[in-house]
Amino acid sequence: MKFDQFRRGAMLLLAAFAALLSGCTTYVTTQVTAFSDWGNGSDATRTYAFARSPSQENSLEQRTYENTVANELAMYSFKQAPATEARYWVGLTYSIKGDMATVSQPVYYAPPPAFGPYWGPNPWGPWGPWGPYPSGYVTQSFPVYTHTLGIRITERTTGKEVYNVTARNANEDPSLVTSMPYLVRSALDGFPAGNGAVRTVKIAVDKNSGASNEVAAPTPAAASGAASASAPSASPKPAQ
């Protein structure tokens, strides 16, 4: 009987904590690494076509992500053009990788009152005789998925790489589709970033689980372990 009372008290405590968290604004946090040799090109020269590897050529997933990237590039005066007229190739790489994360959390128990009945307003509170006491830790494992997007911009006529950015975030969502809007916005946020720039970009999640218009100010992130986006094939086949 006492054990059931103790367990019920601990569950109430956890429920109150979850309710508190539910009122907080949720953000998607993305690590962004950019390498740039953009120069001072005018807006009139920001024409591009998408470069595709053979596996991307007939992919509906590829076209869906291209539309998302095109919408974001338009915010920076980029315009799509026929492959023979575009100044730039824009190549995309993307991936999702699953792993297991392990965390340790404290476990609480509530001992029975030692000195008779308690007449306070909240016997389950921190100062009550049935209040929670730490008794140890429990280890739990859960899946974590890392979503990665690379955007590489090269000059069509010379093949010179002028911009290469990688955006990466991790959460419990096994779908790359739902993370792509956040990856794209984060990757191109503040375009063009300086060469070797490493930042953390936070984007608020709206009530419809999409990317909202609120972007938190980016903060510096550790440069170690950052990787640039891989290039498309040496002779990409442009969109027709």
Q: Residue 58 has what pLDDT?
A: 94
Q: Residue 143 has what pLDDT?
A: 87
Rounded to whole angstroms, the Cα distance separating 10 from 89 reads 58
For residue 134, is it within any domain?
A: no
Rounded to whole angstroms, the Cα distance separating 203 from 216 reads 6
Q: Residue 231 has what pLDDT?
A: 37
Domains of the chain: total: 1
For residue 86, is it within any domain?
A: yes
Q: Residue 211 has what pLDDT?
A: 65
Q: Residue 6 has what pLDDT?
A: 40
Q: Residue 138 has what pLDDT?
A: 82
CATH number, residue 205: 3.30.160.670
For residue 125, is it within any domain?
A: no
Q: Residue 142 has what pLDDT?
A: 79
Q: Residue 135 has what pLDDT?
A: 66
For residue 128, is it within any domain?
A: no
Over the chain (240 residues), the average pLDDT of each successive run of 10 is: 43 38 70 93 88 96 98 97 96 94 74 52 52 70 92 96 97 94 97 96 77 54 37 38
Q: What is the pTM of this model?
A: 0.67
Q: Residue 226 has what pLDDT?
A: 36
Task: Tell which phi-psi region holds residue 129, choosing left (phi > 0), alpha (psi between -120 and 50) or beta.
Answer: alpha
Residue numbers of the domain that contains 227: 26-107+139-238
